[in-house]
Structure 1
Amino acid sequence: MSELLNMLFKAFWVGCAAFGFAILFNVPRKYLATVWIGGALVGLIKYGVLLYISSSIILATFVAALVVGIYSVVIARIRREPPMILTIPTVIPLVPGAFAYRTMYGLIKLTGNVDADYSRILSETVRNGALTLFIILSFTIGIIIPYEIGKEIAKKIN
């Protein structure tokens, strides 16, 4: 029960982060609730996948981005707006800031003294850099797939 409550708590705050980025990017007021719902959906899916299906943050990020990409395309199609208005602020909370920070910090440490910890620092830096890269690629691909499919469907309908 506490895991589910923790997941809902995280989803709420991911929705709040998406809402904040929507305000920062001047998303029209009528879409702010939709962006918050999308952000909460991202949080639910990401932490739900991490908790119950796989421990891979890359897979969890991809699935969350794919679902929010579909959500954004559908809502944007209904409202006749570009889907990126809803998608961009919603997926920004998926950006792997901690891994990117650890990568940069490790690179800075590697430029310093060469000591016994050099290989450990190097392996941690490469791991964090690879995680950062693959997480960014996963949410980018997860967003692009529904967007491109939506464009093809729109071409066939019109």
Structure 2
Amino acid sequence: MSTAALLEQGFWAFVATLGFAVLFNVPTRMLLICGVAGTLGHMWKRALMAHGIDVVMSTYIGATVVGLVGYTQARFFHMPRLIFTVTGIIPMVPGVPAFETMVYFMRDDIPTGLETLVRTGLIGGAIAVGLVTARLLVSFGDKDDGYNPRGLWQRGMVQFEAGHHKGD
């Protein structure tokens, strides 16, 4: 895949993500970030597929990228993470394979229909597992004790603000 084709794919992924963000009533100041999350995930998926990586693994990595961008931006902007991850994952939903599955079953081509059904399910599962992987990576070390609501990356700041300096 050429760079121009990858950039075109990224542009259309941005448009799709932005459209669904507007549809889901995402706050106006978050629209650009949602679009970037969807664009990055889709471009990673397409670039990996262009280099011979299977569509399921490419989708998993793209979903992980969307999840990482979404979760980190949700924490940075103090917004719900679903704003970024749901809209960002839309360009990777396997709509064409799902449609092909229905067409094969309507034509009574059951073996091919089952093959595309499994492939579609694997792509959907890769999206889910990619988002879960990102969630685990970002929330690693989180405590739910009311004092440290964030992960390891902010504990130093919380302790500093509370007056618990390391030298005290």
TM-score (norm 2): 0.81
Equivalent residue number for residue 64 of structure 1? 62
Whichever residue aligns with residue 16 of structure 2, its letter is A
SS at the partner of 1:26? coil
Could you tell me which residue of structure 1 aligns to residue 9 of structure 2? 10
Cα distance in 1 between the residues matched to 2:103 and 2:55: 21
Query: Where do 1:138-157 residues align within 5 Å?
Result: 138-155=126-143, 157=148
8 Å CA contact 1:18–1:89 kept in 2: the answer is yes
Trace 1:1-158 onto structure 2 (pairs within 5 A): 3-52=2-51, 54-110=52-108, 121-155=109-143, 157-158=148-149
CA contact (8 A) 1:42 1:91 kept: yes
Query: Following TM superposition, by how much is the alpha carbon of 1:152 offset from its aligned partner in structure 2, in angstroms?
Result: 4.7
Distance across 1 between alignment mates of 2:132 and 2:83: 14
Distance, in Å, in 1 between the alignment partners of 2:75 and 2:29 is 15
After superposition, the C-alpha distances for 1:29-70 in whole angstroms (9 at most, x for unaligned) are: 111000111111012101111112x33111110000001101
What RMSD in Å do the two structures reach over aligned CA positions? 1.6
Runs of 5+ consecutive residues of structure 2 not aligned to the other structure = 150-168
**TM-score, length basis structure 1:** 0.86
Q: CA deviation at 1:93?
A: 1.2
Higher relative contact order (CA 8 A, sep 6+): 1
Higher Cα Rg: structure 1 or 2? 2
CA contact (8 A) 2:38 2:90 kept: no
Q: Which one-letter code corresponds to 1:69 in the other structure?
A: G
| Ranges in structure 1 where 5+ consecutive residues have no aligned partner | 111-120
Bigger helix fraction: 1
Paired residues in the alignment total 146
1:40 maps to amino acid? T
- Deviation for aligned residue 1:108: 1.8
